[in-house]
Amino acid sequence: MHLSEHVDEFNRQGFTVIRGAMSEEQADLIRAGVLSAFEGPEDGYGANIRTKMFEKGKPFVELIGQPVVADFAEEVLGGNCHMFSMNSLLTPKGSGIDVWHVDEELFFPLPDDVELDPRIPMPTFLFTCLYYLVDVEANMGPTQLVPGSHRSGQEPAPKQNPPIYKGQEPVSITAQKGDCLIFTGQTWHRGAKNESDKPRVVQQVTYSRRWVSQRFYPFVNYRMPDEVVAWAEGNRRLTRMLGFHPRGPYG
């Protein structure tokens, strides 16, 4: 698929998959860094997640500017978008974020009897790119999403399991190492429980519009390490995606 086709699919169903977004060699390199991070202490968000992965080495910083995916980010969010957060997830057997949800909160809530005009794309302020660092089979807790539900302007109904939107049931994203799922957190989704003996290992890069503040704990007092800035030195696009913007509205 061409970039424009991925954008159209994303606007229509709330997600798209770029197959082979990274090579197997790159996926293996990133996976090694992720596993190393999980050998260290937790960073306050639970045993199955590590945050601020751009601090873990130059390959992670370079991933922020990954070809095609970064092009997609700029096409949807504008040429001055930036990386919002960068988390990794390791999901062993018996675990998974298996409650249906939207991320953060509803950005464009709609009453029950109101639908968004089909001529209007759902406004997108940020989205997550999920790189698969291992092959993900149906029993490994794949990400599940309800196509089109990002246009509902509503939370998934807690009593409806699985949730259905306009006749659309959830789809499971099985993938090969190196594939990348891009989805808006307004789409009803979950990570199904991993029922296999193999851990699911993924690396996320979330992008946002320039005016959406980045999410690096401890937020107000966070300072990006000098070595992270140095890893992007000489690459204007990558430096901007780290959050180094010229002055603009509000500051």
Q: Give domain status of residue 70, yes or no.
A: yes
Q: Give domain status of residue 40, yes or no.
A: yes
pTM: 0.96
Predicted pLDDT of residue 128 = 98
Tell me the C-alpha distance between 34 and 52, whole Å: 11
Tell me the C-alpha distance between 108 and 98, whole Å: 24
Could you say which residues of the chain have pLDDT below 50? Answer: none
Q: What CATH number should be reported for the domain holding residue 76?
A: 2.60.120.620
Domain that holds residue 130: 3-241
Residues 6+ apart with CB under 8 A from 184: 10, 14, 15, 122, 124, 126, 127, 128, 150
Structural domain count, the chain? 1
Predicted pLDDT of residue 97 = 80
| Bridge partners, 49 (sequence order) | 89
Q: Give domain status of residue 247, yes or no.
A: no
Predicted pLDDT of residue 93 = 87
Q: Give domain status of residue 93, yes or no.
A: yes
Q: Give domain status of residue 248, yes or no.
A: no
Predicted pLDDT of residue 94 = 84
Q: Give domain status of residue 184, yes or no.
A: yes
Angle at 145 (CA atoms; ends 208, 186), nearest 5 degrees? 35
Q: Give domain status of residue 50, yes or no.
A: yes
Q: Give domain status of residue 144, yes or no.
A: yes
